[in-house]
């Protein structure tokens, strides 16, 4: 069906849809995919989600890029670096980290293309994409703040598996924040620009969430 015919049918068969959506980072709707120690809610971030529902804005959940690239919900590939100081994999980090970054970028690029295509489809369908909501202090989904991953991984390598706590894990995040985009955010922005799509970026402040304890 051509775009013109699809628009005609859409106008003819009207319903209650508000024709506005926002794309939210995956963990804003599901904190079960956060890094270990980083979940401060059982599920979604309610003070962010409820106003959107009240305004009649549809919510599209972005993929969790780290879940896709780093080994599922628990990010098992990343966990290999936890408490690794003194072990063989720690001594091989100079070789392993570039490979991990190459693989991560490859997966993130694929997800960014799929997401940009989805955003374009909404716009062509007459639905306004009012924004993309990332998570500042995320190495993947940061909008204005990201993490120095090399520094963060060096610190996680020194964690003690027998005594490590959520507070220690979060301290690493708090102390390695740097200005700039996360890798997935950066690649998604590139894919949107290629398609001539300009979408406002917004950010949830993970640091404030961690420091508030909820």
pLDDT tens, position by position, 193-206: 999 999 999 999 99
Q: Return all residues near 65 (Cβ < 8 A) that are at least 6 apart.
A: 104, 107, 108, 111, 140, 141, 183, 184
Q: Is the pLDDT of residue 166 over 90?
A: yes
Q: Output the pLDDT for position 40.
A: 94
Q: Output the pLDDT for position 212.
A: 81
Sheet holding 58-61, edge to edge: 58-61, 20-24, 128-136, 201-205
Burial of 81 (0-12, 13-18, 19+ CB in 10 A): buried
The whole-number average pLDDT for the span 17-44 is 96
The whole-number average pLDDT for the span 23-46 is 96
Angle ∠(159,66,170) on CA atoms, nearest 5: 35
The whole-number average pLDDT for the span 17-21 is 95
- What are the φ/ψ torsions at residue 150 (nearest 5 degrees)? -65, -45
Q: Output the pLDDT for position 8.
A: 80
CB 73 within 8 A of CB 33: yes
Distance CA 164, CA 115 (A): 36
- Give the confidence band of 7 by pLDDT, cuts at 50, 70, 90: confident
CB 145 within 8 A of CB 178: yes
pLDDT tens, position by position, 74-110: 999 999 999 999 999 999 989 999 999 999 999 999 9
Distances (CA, A) of 113 to 61, 142, 195: 15, 18, 10
What is the percent of the chain where pLDDT is above 70? 98
- Give the confidence band of 211 by pLDDT, cuts at 50, 70, 90: confident
- Give the confidence band of 57 by pLDDT, cuts at 50, 70, 90: very high
Q: In the chain, what are the domain boundaries?
A: 17-212
pLDDT tens, position by position, 124-150: 999 999 999 999 999 999 999 999 999
Q: Quick one: CA torsion of 115, 60, 49, 64, rounded to 10 degrees?
A: -50
Average pLDDT taken over every residue of the chain: 94
Q: Is the pLDDT of residue 214 over 60?
A: no
Q: Output the pLDDT for position 213.
A: 58
What is the percent of the chain where pLDDT is above 90? 88
- Give the confidence band of 3 by pLDDT, cuts at 50, 70, 90: low
Q: Output the pLDDT for position 1.
A: 65
- What are the φ/ψ torsions at residue 10 (nearest 5 degrees)? -65, -40
Distance CA 105, CA 171 (A): 26
């Amino acid at each position: 069906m051509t775009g013109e015919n699809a628009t005609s049918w859409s106008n003819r068969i009207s319903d209650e849809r508000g024709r506005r959506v926002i794309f939210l980072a995956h963990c804003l709707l599901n904190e079960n995919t956060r890094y270990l120690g980083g979940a401060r809610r059982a599920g979604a971030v309610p003070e962010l989600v409820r106003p959107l529902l009240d305004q009649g804005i549809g919510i599209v959940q972005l993929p969790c890029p780290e879940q896709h690239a780093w080994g599922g919900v628990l990010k098992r590939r990343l966990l290999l670096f936890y408490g690794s100081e003194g072990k063989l994999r720690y001594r091989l980090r100079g070789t392993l980290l570039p490979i991990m970054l190459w693989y991560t970028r490859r997966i993130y690029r694929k997800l960014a293309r799929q997401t940009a295509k989805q955003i374009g489809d909404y716009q062509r369908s007459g639905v306004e994409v009012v924004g993309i909501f990332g998570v500042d202090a995320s190495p993947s989904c940061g909008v204005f703040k990201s993490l120095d991953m090399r520094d963060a991984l060096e610190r996680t390598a020194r964690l003690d598996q027998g005594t490590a706590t959520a507070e220690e894990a979060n301290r690493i995040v708090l102390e390695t924040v740097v200005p700039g985009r996360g890798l997935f955010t950066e690649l998604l922005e590139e894919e949107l620009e290629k398609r001539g799509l300009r979408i406002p970026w917004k950010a949830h402040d993970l640091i404030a969430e961690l420091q508030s304890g909820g």
